[in-house]
Structure 1
């Protein structure tokens, strides 16, 4: 795709060339950051490109690596940030996918200079990319440090977050969801929440400064949906402003609400990992994932699974599918996922036609072992048959209707199982 405008690329280049202004210790100062971070420039480029196989622009050398070494190390006569405008690297006029992978690599923990202003530059670059419907995000971790991937930007500012008990209100009333939390588990949850119960200094609209705790913020969030309540000694369900009483004596579903809202204020630490460890330890078949409590029997598309995808259209369809699935809109989720399945088949187009592209994907998935190749080939064929026979897409009125959400759920999970494995075997599209 080519969504990223020339203007955005120019502005990002200006950031590295000219630096950015920041407020620090009540002063404004300009700071700079090298795009290759703590590495040598040539070393950084070799992480992304096979420089030995790329042409030299200097007739004295046979490949790009020798050329670049001569002009960035020996002579040092290439202009700063020359790579952004060198046609060999496809950053100026190439696809969004190539450009975004390059930008993500700038902020890889191995590359970035942790004591530098990399986070400031990341934030500024994200603001620019969001104008063209992309964003960088923490897709996985290494040594407890974020590795950044890219995805389609889906602004959430106008969308209210609905907590667990309210999202699942109908299923809870119909007893399709029955949740129980033992006292010991409640105690573990409370102790964890209390450990993350930070104090914030905030300023009111009138300029008055005051302290507020995480638990106060969470109670305020919950109060938008219902008054926080718990059972008292007389077994009456009464309002409370005590975090401990709320966790110990409220509905189990409300405890999940508190966990979700706590995550909102703890996205940069290990809160999610620790709460999931408690849930698993106590045999509670739920998990916290991207701010939402979900069943461990569901298989949402995990954030990190997008990382290997170097084709924006496929990534966008998968994001839309998981968004619809999380919202309970299984019909649209399945339609978008099947669109992603069809797009996956042509991943290597136009270099390969559709059939050859599918065969390459299957060969890679099967590691050239016949039993696995046969397995995945059969699954590709059967999912294609499902798409041909059932009304996956709304406009296909001549096919078998899908009238039961459980059937939609089955189709979604079956198709996702294949896609989630396939994308781990995709080539990087020209870059290493």
Structure 2
């Protein structure tokens, strides 16, 4: 117990141990504690009985113990309608609405540009994180990927390249092409007006994670249409 407390204090210093019955830690702290425990979870396997010392030999099954720990925690999450889960490796992640989870989980990134693919994959992984700062970072990386997407087509400047990109998704002059153009302008304006990619004093900060989630899903939907329409995944 003493060793557990000391190591926990080193790795998760913002938690009070033993836990107070009157003070509930913040959700990210609880998830840090669960991940810490998952990192050491295992199942003792009782072996042959040693008659002289009157005890059983024990072996240690890491995989079985971790699986049981994850299952027990996830059962508590489900029964209490908590929108998080532990993965099979013991990492905490938040549960998304099914439609969003399917879209994000099955998207492919094959833009032909390694940095754009890296930004999109990093955004996807961080968006499911339970940590608020990771979700903000996911939004930033998604906006960075959007700006790089604008430059993947040939053209004399970024505006021409962006137009060529949208022209591959829908015929120029069509209603959908016009809608895509308006949305691209609006998303660019949002990126310049809010504190997403830059931190100038003139930019407005996002004040809730709901705002972060809304902007992420809106941008991701747009990017996915572009990827699918240009044969770059999606």
Q: Same fold (TM over 0.5)?
A: yes
Describe how 1:360-371 pairs up with structure 2 within 5 A.
360-368=164-172, 370-371=174-175
Are the aligned partners of 2:109 and 2:117 in contact in 1 as well (CA < 8 Å)?
yes
State the shift of 1:292 in Å.
Answer: 8.2
State the shift of 1:369 in Å.
Answer: 5.4
Say whether 1:343 aligns with 2:145.
no
Say whether 1:322 aligns with 2:124.
yes
Relative distance call for 1:292 and 1:397 in structure 2 (3 A) is closer
Q: Which runs of 4+ in 1 moved over 6 A?
A: 256-259
Say whether 1:353 aligns with 2:199.
no
CA distance in 2, matches of 1:427, 1:322: 19
CA distance in 1, matches of 2:138, 2:86: 26
Look up the match of 2:112: 310
Look up the match of 2:76: 251
CA-atom RMSD in angstroms: 3.8
Q: Secondary structure at the match of 2:117?
A: helix
CA distance in 2, matches of 1:368, 1:297: 30
Relative distance call for 1:425 and 1:251 in structure 2 (3 A) is same
CA distance in 1, matches of 2:137, 2:199: 12
Q: What is the TM-score of this pair, normalised by structure 1?
A: 0.34
Look up the match of 2:36: none
Say whether 1:414 aligns with 2:208.
no
State the shift of 1:326 in Å.
Answer: 1.6
State the shift of 1:297 in Å.
Answer: 4.8
Relative distance call for 1:304 and 1:413 in structure 2 (3 A) is closer
Task: Pick from 386, 393, 405 the counterpart of residue 190 of structure 2.
Answer: 386
Look up the match of 1:195: none
State the shift of 1:315 in Å.
Answer: 0.6
Are the aligned partners of 1:361 and 1:425 in contact in 2 as well (CA < 8 Å)?
no
Look up the match of 1:67: none
Relative distance call for 1:394 and 1:381 in structure 2 (3 A) is closer
Q: Secondary structure at the match of 2:192?
A: helix
Are the aligned partners of 1:365 and 1:373 in contact in 2 as well (CA < 8 Å)?
yes
State the shift of 1:260 in Å.
Answer: 4.3
Look up the match of 1:220: 66
CA distance in 2, matches of 1:356, 1:317: 23
CA-to-aligned-CA distance 1:382-425 (integer Å, 9 cap, x gap): 11111121111253332111121111111111111100110112
Look up the match of 1:170: 27
Q: Secondary structure at the match of 1:302?
A: helix
Structure 1, unaligned stretches of length 5 or more? 1-168, 174-209, 230-246, 265-290
Q: Secondary structure at the match of 1:251?
A: helix
Relative distance call for 1:304 and 1:414 in structure 2 (3 A) is closer
- Structure showing the higher helix proportion among its residues: 2
Structure 2, unaligned stretches of length 5 or more? 1-25, 31-58
Are the aligned partners of 2:170 and 2:176 in contact in 1 as well (CA < 8 Å)?
yes
Are the aligned partners of 2:95 and 2:128 in contact in 1 as well (CA < 8 Å)?
no
State the shift of 1:222 in Å.
Answer: 4.2
Relative distance call for 1:383 and 1:221 in structure 2 (3 A) is same
CA distance in 2, matches of 1:292, 1:374: 36
